[in-house]
Chains A and B, each alone.
Chain A
């Protein structure tokens, strides 16, 4: 195994599960998330010297992941899921004592966000990335990250208000 492979392997073993979690929240499906991460890692491997030279390799790989999700959305090859409700049904108020139901409502709200807002929320609040890292991953300015975060939080609140839930 080459030095490059060893280095890539070490990086991948550390980041694979967090990347998978991010992918899941991006698409709402563990199997699709698996595919997204595999595709992401193939590209990361192909461009490994550039990835490792990046200011933040983690942000760089997230950027690849988000591009992959966006690309699939555009190709409609495998639709990235969005929030779904039974036909004719409005979201129902969850039992506030039921954490699982509450979190499921949050996932539905998250999936209802535009992809960029969703990605912003995930990178900031799941991955704990700084605004700078998030901006690098999304290929936008820190100001845009701020505005996207605020807009996304507002949309989440609006969605969850309809279900009488809270963030």
Chain B
């Protein structure tokens, strides 16, 4: 293939640009890059966990999980040894439904809303898997009463622990993040906040789960459709799908209890370019509140021997 030769003007331009940009040697801070990548993950988690984030809240661990009323008892029965309703485990265990029910969107959404109402009685455990590039896995425990969350993250750097809490300071959403990193045996304490104050009501703003009003708004958005039935971790489920960003989000609920079993968020934004978002799969478990769980979520336990360091910028 013949390429046209650059003109003298273009050659001169290349030369001049190289001269202009010459002289500076950039040495990347690889440790800092890895740390910041992890920090972005944490911030994303915290931001997704706020009700103020609207649609994005659905990505939070246990968003729907603990929000249930009558269905909770049925779910808890199904939980077996754990004493709580266990929902979802791994995508590989999904299968085709043997007895799909015929249900309308209106019926399912009404039942889900009914089931979502008693979140405070549970601690929500969310096994979250982010697929694709940069994928990681984490276990997140959320206490709906305090809006606190505790996360154990496994990524390419190893394992880290984080305690996240969300609160308001002069109407400004604020997040506190304490992290302990097993790869460096260090920990830090970081507080960051939203760019500005919340306008209007702050009710539910710090919630790490969706408020009933938000759930209602989402379910009534008019864009939902039933996409099928399948078995997830032994639960017969029914799936709701909604267009979301440039992808979709799916909520699979137990077809008996109408409690959430799995949440999938897929955003194919910029698929032709960089930064395609990953698919996030949340498998969720309801756990009865116990002192040990409350301690895990609401109390910081820095492992012995870890040294405190300055938080990443």
Contacts and interface: CB of A to CB of B under 8 A. Distances in A.
Interface of A: 2, 4-5, 8-9, 12-13, 16-17, 19-22, 24-25, 30, 34, 37-38, 41-43, 45-51, 60, 63-64, 67, 99, 102-103, 106-107, 110, 121-122, 125-126, 128, 139, 153, 156, 166-167
Contacts of B14: 125-126, 128
A139 B135 CA distance: 24
Contact of B133 (A34, A50, A64): A50
B18 interface: yes
A60 B275 CA distance: 9
Nearest to B277: A47
A42 B24 contact: no
B274 A42 contact: no
A85 to B, nearest CB: 18
A67 B134 contact: no
B274 A12 contact: no
Contacts of A166: 12
Interface string B252-271: 00000000000000000010
Nearest to B313: A38
Nearest to B183: A1
B13 interface: yes
Nearest to B136: A46
Interface string B7-24: 001101110111111101
B273 A2 contact: no
Nearest to A126: B17
B25 interface: yes
Given A5-B30, A16-B28, 18 more contacts: A5-B157, A12-B33, A13-B28, A24-B21, A30-B24, A37-B26, A37-B28, A41-B33, A46-B134, A49-B132, A51-B274, A67-B274, A125-B13, A126-B14, A126-B18, A139-B272, A139-B273, A166-B12
A89 to B, nearest CB: 22
Interface in B28-82: 28-30, 32-34, 36-37, 40-41
A22 B134 contact: no
B275 A43 contact: yes
Contacts of B10: 125, 153
Contacts of A153: 9-10, 13
A25 B16 CA distance: 11
Contacts of A13: 28
Contacts of B17: 25, 106, 110, 121-122, 125-126
Contacts of B133: 46-51
A9 B132 CA distance: 20
A5 B13 contact: no
Given A47-B133, A48-B134, A153-B9, A34 B26 contact: yes
Contacts of A42: 33, 36-37, 40
A78 to B, nearest CB: 14
Nearest to B8: A167
B290 interface: no
Contacts of B26: 16-17, 19-20, 34, 37
Nearest to A64: B274
B24 A17 contact: yes
Contact of A167 (B9, B135, B273): B9
A151 to B, nearest CB: 14
Contacts of B37: 42, 45-46
A116 to B, nearest CB: 14
Question: What 6 pairs between A and B have smallest CB-CB spacing?
Answer: A21-B21, A20-B26, A50-B133, A49-B133, A46-B134, A126-B17
Contacts of A126: 14, 17-18, 21
Interface in B273-307: 273-276
B2 interface: no
B170 interface: no
Contacts of B29: 38
Contacts of B98: none
Given A5-B156, A63-B274, A64-B274, A107 B30 contact: no
B18 A103 contact: no
Contacts of B199: none
A60 B272 CA distance: 11
Contacts of B270: 139
10 contacts: A5-B34, A37-B28, A42-B36, A48-B134, A49-B132, A49-B134, A103-B19, A121-B13, A139-B272, A153-B9
